[in-house]
């Protein structure tokens, strides 16, 4: 064979390989398999269990709506919060549902959709242990025990605002909440919606001293780096469902009312 022809053929083959995409976008995989794998963590009212042990919550409704608009089924995987981004990076799931706060550090590891809503970090206190505390600054003290959940936005706020306090960090919401309920911690930092619900369920021992968020944040859906087609779809989905009021109406049900409480207990 003529060497120049062989060289040209090899060169063209290399160019084709370099220019061709290394693999299909995960959106194609979702549509082909007929399911979208959704990562959630149990934080009220984003994701929780009803009295039959089934998952309910804002994220669950939202993910099922996304799946329905894709023509597929939603398949849920429940993680402890610190494992949720690694699961996305490993390809175990396709999206992290919409309770994740957008931060620069997280944006280095995942791609975020357009924001779904504005939320914030709230503060709940043990009523008996903080009865003599009148200012927020008094909580920033080595004698004060503050709990939160690892790798959450509330955790970063706790480190920032209460650097001198005894910060106890837990892997799950239940463990962190139990500390304040049982009087082993003075305060608990979590989402505003979560601390309000905690106070409602334990009003004899837990108080909400500040009615507004300590720090606000934007929430979004997260996808793996480089999944541009899926990200484009989710951006369009957020735009469409905000315009037709599905998102604000659904969010108001979960965050603005307690109508769903009857679904969690007899």
The pTM score is: 0.79
Point out which residues pair with 145 in neighbouring strands: 166
The domains found in the chain, sorted by start residue, are 23-118+217-263 (3.40.190.10), 120-216 (3.40.190.10)
Q: What pLDDT is attached to residue 17?
A: 41
φ and ψ at residue 84, rounded to 5 degrees: -75, -40
Q: Examine the pLDDT at 20 and tell me if it is beyond 50.
A: no
> How many C-beta atoms lie closer than 10 Å to residue 49's C-beta?
14
Q: What is the pLDDT of residues 103-127, one digit of tens each?
A: 999 999 999 999 998 888 999 999 9
Rounded mean pLDDT of the chain? 89
Of residues 150, 137, 127, 133, the one with CA closest to residue 198: 127
Cα separations (Å) of 30 from 36, 126, 142, 198?
A: 5, 46, 50, 37
DSSP secondary structure string for all residues of 146-195:
EEEETTSHHHHHHHHH-TTSEEEEESSHHHHHHHHHTTS-SEEEEEHHHH
Q: What is the pLDDT of residues 175-202, one digit of tens each?
A: 999 999 999 999 999 988 889 889 988 9
Q: What pLDDT is attached to residue 24?
A: 63
Q: What pLDDT is attached to residue 66?
A: 97
């Amino acid at each position: 064979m003529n060497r120049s022809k062989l060289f040209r053929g090899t060169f063209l083959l290399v160019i084709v390989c370099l220019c061709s995409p290394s693999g299909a976008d995960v959106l194609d995989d979702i549509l082909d398999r007929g399911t979208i794998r959704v990562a959630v963590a149990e934080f009220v009212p984003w994701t929780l269990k009803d009295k039959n042990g089934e998952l309910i919550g804002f994220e669950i409704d939202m993910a099922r709506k996304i799946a329905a608009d894709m023509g597929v089924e939603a398949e849920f995987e429940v993680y402890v919060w610190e494992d949720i981004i690694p699961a996305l990076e490993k390809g175990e799931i396709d999206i992290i549902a919409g309770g994740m706060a957008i931060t620069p550090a997280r944006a280095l590891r995942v791609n975020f959709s357009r924001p779904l809503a504005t939320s914030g970090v709230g503060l709940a206190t043990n009523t008996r242990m903080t009865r003599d505390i009148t200012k927020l600054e008094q909580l920033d003290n080595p004698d004060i025990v503050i709990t939160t959940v690892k790798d959450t936005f509330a955790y970063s706020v706790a480190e920032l605002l209460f650097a001198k306090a005894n910060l106890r960090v837990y892997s799950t919401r239940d463990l962190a909440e139990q500390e304040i309920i049982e009087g082993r911690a003075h305060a608990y930092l979590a989402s505003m919606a979560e601390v309000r619900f905690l106070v409602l369920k334990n009003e004899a021992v837990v108080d909400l001293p500040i009615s507004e968020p300590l720090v606000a944040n934007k929430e979004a859906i997260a996808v793996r780096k480089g999944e541009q087609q899926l990200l484009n779809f989710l951006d369009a989905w957020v735009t469409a469902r905000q315009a037709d009021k599905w998102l604000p109406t659904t969010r108001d049900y979960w965050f603005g009312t307690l109508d769903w409480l009857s679904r969690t207990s007899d």
